[in-house]
Amino acid sequence: MTSDRSKLAVLGFPISHSLSPVIHRAAYETLGFDWQYDAVELSEESLPAFLSALDGRWRGLSLTMPLKRDVVPLLDWADPLVALVGGANTVLVTDEGLQGYNTDVEGAMRSFLDAGLSRLESVWIVGAGATAASLLVASIRLGAARIEIIARTPAKAQPLKELGESLGARVVVRQWYEPPSSTEMPSAIITTVPGGAMDLEFDESVRTAVALFDVAYDPWPSEVAKSWMAVGGTVISGHDLLINQAIAQVRIFASGSPDTPLAGEADAIDAMRAAIEPSPDHDHS
């Protein structure tokens, strides 16, 4: 990897809502990296041509909806986690080709741990897309043995069911408004659908006892997050996941490994959060 690779971007469609440029730029400034990070609106159809046109100025890419799965067959090398979850959210551009990684699993695990949830017994996952697959793997790695997937189209959740079962969990798929298969409370409820599409409601008894992990962050707080906050429930936000998966991306862009901590990493994380969240004594809205 040559030192003059300084261009990076987040790719997706739509992309205008993405906070990735804000947090990555904050991290690079704090870490002293002279890199440029932009947002590029790109459809699945345009992805192959875009990737093939990358030149020696490019260092890496972040991928968001709907490209995490479409990029996989276009990679020259992929971390085993990419094959496991069926999606990559990070591409490192090297002289040897495009290397794919998934930092959503690591980011989700960090977010649970930051919230004091070091051990999960069971989870409900709302949604059945690429992000849901990463959250499922993260949950199982933190001990979840029972998983319920709530999907508008249950057939779309079948690959997730098979993934969870292959990792030793018991997985149940249920229709959007169908009642839970058990009266037992989960350790966490994870919502992976866009904020505006999340129209399920949960009893106060659930909201006070069960942590909510809402990966949506536009708008934030989402309606479901507000309902949890109203009763003093535990909420893990999409901002938490965004920052935690992004710092793993920065590690990859800097060293080629998601496991190599950065000098000044804690300061970079603080800068990323400050860039997207109002400080307690000053409202940026």
Is 68 a catalytic site residue?
yes
* Stretch (H or E) spanning 10: strand 7-12
For residue 53, the tally of other CB atoms under 10 A from its CB is 8
Q: 73 phi and psi, to 5 degrees?
A: -70, -10
Which 3-state string (H, E, C) describes 107-155? HHHHHHHHCCCCCCCEEEEECCCHHHHHHHHHHHHCCCCEEEEEECCHH
The three-point CA angle 113-119-125 to 5° equals: 85
Query: Within its chain, how far is the Cα of 152 from the centroid?
Result: 21
Pairing of strands 122-126, 97-101: unpaired
Q: Are 133 and 85 in contact (CB under 8 A)?
A: yes
Dig out the tokens for 57 from the structure.
């100025």
Element (H, E) at 268: helix 265-276
Render 17-76 in DSSP notation, one character per residue.
Answer: T--HHHHHHHHHHHHT---EEEEEE--TTTHHHHHHT--TTEEEEEE-TT-TTTTGGG-S
Contact between 255 and 60 under an 8 Å Cβ cutoff? The reply is no
Marked catalytic residue, from 7, 68, 156, 226: 68
Query: Annotated catalytic sites, by residue?
Result: 68
